[in-house]
Amino acid sequence: MNQTIRFSVSMEEQLVAALDEMADKRGYSCRSEAVRDAIRSQLVRDEWDESGSVVGVITLLYDHHTHGLSERLTQIQHQAEPCIISTTHIHLDTNMCLELVAVRGDAATIRTLADRLRSLKGVKHGGLSGTSTGIRLP
């Protein structure tokens, strides 16, 4: 079991007030949990910056009536098959679809894939939500 170590941090009064407000708004039970979460978030960003093995979800909102778009999305995803873990296709209404593409692999490769998919004509919005595989995260 990991041992919890106590240490002190000095910061300006306004920053402590902002931390307390953020922690309360997000439902943290204490400052320590908020600080731990902030540190973990930075560690995940660092993993993505170092182009290590990461996981994430690419979200795509698009009009499926756009000529050739569904075929192009499928083609690009098949070409990127080693990175793609799973896809979920959701019909939002008679025109709009939401596609969730779970990915795992090199951060730079995943960013390139997300850019290729969201730049296609007919994609109304695309996003990439990245996280860690958990291997390097304490």
User: pLDDT tens digit string along 113-135?
Assistant: 999 999 999 999 999 999 988 87
Q: Which residues constitute the domain of residue 72?
A: 53-132
Orientation of helix 107-118 relative to helix 31-49, angle to 10°? 80
87-96: pLDDT as tens digits: 999 999 999 9
pLDDT reading at 97 higher than 80: yes
Q: Tell me, what's the pLDDT at 1?
A: 60
Whether residue 45 is found in the same domain as residue 66: no
Query: Which CATH number belongs to the domain containing residue 88 in this structure?
Result: 3.30.70.1150
Which carries the bigger pLDDT value, residue 102 or residue 50?
102
Computed over every residue of the chain, the mean pLDDT equals 92
Whether residue 116 is found in the same domain as residue 75: yes
7, part of any domain? no
Q: Which token pair is 113? A: 């894939």
Contacts of 136 (CB under 8 A, 6+ apart): 43, 47, 52
Interstrand relation of 53-63 and 84-91 (parallel, antiparallel or unpaired):
unpaired
Q: Which token pair is 50? A: 């170092």
pTM for this predicted structure: 0.83
Whether residue 121 is found in the same domain as residue 68: yes
Q: Tell me, what's the pLDDT at 4?
A: 87
50 and 42 Cβ atoms separated by less than 8 Å: no
Q: Where residue 138 falls among pLDDT bands split at 50, 70, 90?
A: confident
Task: Give the Cα separation of 92 and 66 in Å (integer).
Answer: 15
Q: Tell me, what's the pLDDT at 85?
A: 94
Residue 51: name the closest of 104, 105, 107 by CA: 107
| Strands lying side by side in the sheet with 123-132 | 84-91, 96-106, 53-63, 123-132
Mean pLDDT of 57-83: 94
Q: Tell me, what's the pLDDT at 133?
A: 85
Q: Tell me, what's the pLDDT at 49?
A: 86
Whether residue 65 is found in the same domain as residue 115: yes
90 and 98 Cβ atoms separated by less than 8 Å: yes
Question: For the stretch 90-101, what's the b/e string if a residue is b when 16 or more beta carbons lie within 10 angstroms of its beta carbon?
Answer: eeeeeeebebeb
Whether residue 102 is found in the same domain as residue 117: yes
Mean pLDDT of 73-97: 94
Mean pLDDT of 61-78: 94
